[in-house]
Amino acid sequence: MTWRRLLCVGEAMIELAPLGGARYQRGFAGDTFNTAWHMAQVLGGQAEVGFVTTVGEDTISDAFVKELASDGLLADVVSRTADRTMGLYLIELDGVERSFHYWRSVSAARAIADDLAQLRQSLSEADLIHLSGITIAILTPAARETLLEALGAARAEGAQISFDPNYRPALWNGVQEVRDVLPGFMASADILLPSFDDEQNVWEDASPEATLGRLEALCTGEIIVKDGAGPVCASIGGDRSVHPTRKSEDLRDTTGAGDAFNAGYLAARALGIETRGAVQAAQELAALVLQYPGARADNRMLGPSLLGLQ
């Protein structure tokens, strides 16, 4: 398996990451954007990587698109709108664990699935499309149906769908809404990349193995269950395996570690690397992100050689 065009769909936001005291570092982040950005750095031109989103026409949105392009991502799948701008979030740390404060009511990305024709055009010719529960949570019910239709069309044309359920309670009208909405997207996916704590909170799973068992009924492809510092549990077409996670050193900020894991796994799979090697690549990239403030690692530390992806 080799993928030449990888697209992530979702919301990028202005990120304020703490540097100590009252100082913050301004960047851009968002779960699927973090995944797209890390994939682009790790693959180093061995595949096209794009981020399908909507931003404003203001100067901060201009800066985002310029930075995205300079970092090697496709900019032609980013749409613009004049009546909204980018959302913002601030990271608050308790040791290395993080919590978030959001200002996203005017986020332009909420309009990403308002136009079916435009969305289908953005997703055309993709080999892989990755999205998340956050992507879905920020959309209206009608836009969710539009997104499902666009994904179905892309899948019919040969794209594979990757999905991280990534649960953020504040974005939903209760757990029951999540249970009603997400299974349709899970069933449309070829690759599932859940985190056990999210699955436990939503579905009351007793263990990562229980999560695998539940999701195997929805997805016959690849299921990779992340569990923080715990082992990674995988099911590939029903064939299960467990992959220990080495202890990370120099932890600074857990923001974006799961997104980086997704990037490492999908980048490795894009080059045809099988499960064990792909999980190892994912774990190495996640461990690196833990050493930096905010959701992204220093791109000077990234590249194909770092994860053995050459």
Give CA–CA dist 96/23, Å, rounded: 17
Question: Of how many residues is the chain composed?
Answer: 310
Residue that wins the pLDDT comparison between 192 and 305: 192
- Answer whether 0.95 is exceeded by the pTM: no
The string of pLDDT tens digits covering residues 11-70 is: 999 989 888 888 998 999 899 999 999 999 999 889 999 999 999 999 999 999 999 999
- Going across the sheet that includes 13-20, the strands are 23-29, 13-20, 88-94, 97-103
Percent of the chain with pLDDT over 90: 75
Confidence of residue 181 (pLDDT cuts 50, 70, 90): very high
Which residues belong to the active site? 259
pLDDT, average across residues 126-153:
98
Map tokens 């136009």 to a residue: 115
Percent of the chain with pLDDT over 70: 89
Residue that wins the pLDDT comparison between 196 and 29: 196
Q: Helical H runs in 172-256?
A: 175-187, 196-203, 208-216
What's the mean per-residue pLDDT of the chain? 91
Q: Which domains does the chain have, with CATH numbers?
A: 5-10+30-52+72-77+112-298 (3.40.1190.20)
pLDDT at 239 over 70: yes
pLDDT at 247 over 90: no
The string of pLDDT tens digits covering residues 256-292 is: 688 999 999 999 999 999 999 999 999 988 888 777 6
Confidence of residue 2 (pLDDT cuts 50, 70, 90): confident
pLDDT at 208 over 80: yes
Strand intervals (E) in the chain: 5-9, 13-20, 23-29, 48-55, 78-80, 88-94, 97-103, 128-132, 160-164, 191-192, 222-225, 232-236, 239-243
Are 183 and 218 spatial neighbours (Cβ–Cβ below 8 Å)?
yes
Confidence of residue 303 (pLDDT cuts 50, 70, 90): low
The string of pLDDT tens digits covering residues 84-113 is: 999 998 988 776 666 888 899 889 999 999
pLDDT, average across residues 195-213:
97
Q: What is the pLDDT of residue 130?
A: 98
Give CA–CA dist 192/245, Å, rounded: 19
pLDDT at 310 over 80: no
Q: What is the pLDDT of residue 183?
A: 97
